[in-house]
Structure 1
């Protein structure tokens, strides 16, 4: 066991596989590895080390067995794994204790409240609870007070799409109006052209009739 001075033993210890005169009269020998465990020590000797003879990968001792204990009066310490188990047992015992509400003056009301709380805990166990789940108050609104960013984005996208649709429909209506105006103009020009042709034909017919009448009058004379 390593120490930094006289009568000062630390928690660091060495496994020596051969003679180590540099450790003589400096550190304390407190145990010896025997039996088949020597083969495990040889595996530790094959581990990779750096320039200062420190292992590159940490070697772990999983368990040890003391064959001869020279201090039988020392009580071993409890491992940290056993402590939480005892605490869990205590908490379980506390939960298993039944509450006696008959000793209270308002025992019936307290018992009813306790039953409601237990029922709510069973119903909503494993997920978060809100006032909407616990209270039946009609004044509470189910809508969130603050809208999330996703809802705001969706609303903005829907408004943009609505504006685009409105622009598209207005563009289509303007095109339709232009087409109707052009058609009306063309129909009007055709009507005017036909009326002018009819006028010219009627005037020509009148001239012919006048000429015929004049010829008849001349022949009568």
Structure 2
């Protein structure tokens, strides 16, 4: 029974770094591709932004959460290299993971912050208060109205912040990450566009015209 209650091993920054080193080593095999340097630069920029956010964390709890997100990024990157055809599924799971925190922008300006965390929790709390006040109204009109007023007073500004700032920044980061992982998958497993393929009958006609029809 002890197995089911075993705590998940805590990931460290070194664990994430090791995965990224492995990823760079695997990508070295594609160094002669035209997009290789661009992809490497994008990964290094992302790595630097994440490391800066970890270094700037104001408490150990936040730092541990950011490190878990860092490891998740490195794990997803490695997955896209090993299984490029599964890239979309890997990225979807990455963004839905409870360990995921959006960290991005040239200088980390779109990253998840302490204020995002506070406003998100206040939004959740005030939403719960709103539901409770509506349930209480038929039984205690005065108490229900007071609770409803407090809930709306807290919910209005916090919800606006979450939508206008937190979610907007999150979407910006996720768009950057989708582009990065797609570029990695395309580097490892390039797909020839259908309009670049020459039909078999045209190739045969061309060969005949050149006098190499094999007859």
Query: Does TM-score exceed 0.5, indicating one fold?
Result: no
Larger helix percent:
2
Q: TM-score range by the shorter chain?
A: under 0.3
TM-score, reference length from structure 1:
0.18
